[in-house]
Amino acid sequence: MTRSVTPLTNAERPALARLLAANSLPTDDLDEPGRRFWRVADARGTLGYGGLEVHGADALLRSVVVPDERRGAGNGRAVVAAVRAQAVTLGVERLWLLTTDAAGFFERLGFQRVERMSAPPAIQSSAQFAGLCPGTAVCLRADLARATA
Ligand SMILES: CC(C)(COP(=O)(O)OP(=O)(O)OC[C@H]1O[C@@H](n2cnc3c(N)ncnc32)[C@H](O)[C@@H]1OP(=O)(O)O)[C@@H](O)C(=O)NCCC(=O)NCCS
């Protein structure tokens, strides 16, 4: 099925915020500078969202979310692939993320568990690392040249 990947519009932002909040993911800093979000859709409508905070060759992958009714059909994988492709065009070489519930999902897509302290300072000082995510969150990294999503 043909998918579109489009930068999130201001009009679409509340829908993303609602979905993130419903999944206990951070929404406080969505409007801060340096965040980019995309909506991925097909003929049935939105199949998911994902975002990046880019810091040179490193970026925080964040706000990956699929609506409940669209899960379990490869849409999460499609969202990560779409955001990853955007990251490559932005010159990103490594993706980092924190997750409390979806480490297994990202590991299936080629991410590797790493020590949180191994992230570069710019990533560690992001709002998510600094406090928006609980301290129990798992840190994962993907080298874009080697990941297999
Ligand atoms: C995590 C999430 C994006 C997965 O979306 P999805 O559309 O159900 O995922 P997919 O169908 O593309 O799954 C891809 C693979 O990962 C597996 N998978 C999905 N969720 C998983 C999880 N939580 N843990 C382990 N594996 C998982 C699937 O079984 C599938 O495996 P396969 O390749 O063997 O078939 C979705 O559950 C979600 O939005 N969760 C809430 C938000 C969240 O936690 N986001 C991550 C933090 S940013």
Render pLDDT for 75-120 as a digit per residue (tens, 0 to 9): 999 999 999 999 999 999 999 999 989 999 999 999 999 999 999 9
pLDDT of residue 145: 76
Atom of ligand 1 nearest to the CA of 64: 48
pLDDT at 73 over 90: yes
Tokens of 43: 């003929």
- What is the CATH code of the structural domain delimited by 4-143? 3.40.630.30
CA of 14 from ligand 1 middle (Å) equals 23
Residue 113 β-bridge partners: 140
| Centre of ligand 1 from the C-alpha of residue 76, in Å | 6
pLDDT score, position 147? 46
CA of 105 to the centre of ligand 1 (A): 5
Residue with more model confidence, 127 or 69: 69
Q: Provide the pLDDT for residue 1.
A: 76
Q: Does residue 46 have its Cβ closer than 6 Å to ligand 1? A: no
> Which residue did the predictor score with more confidence, 38 or 149?
38
pLDDT reading at 134 higher than 80: no
Is the CB of 65 inside a 6 Å radius of any atom of ligand 1? yes
For residue 133, the model assigns a pLDDT of 59
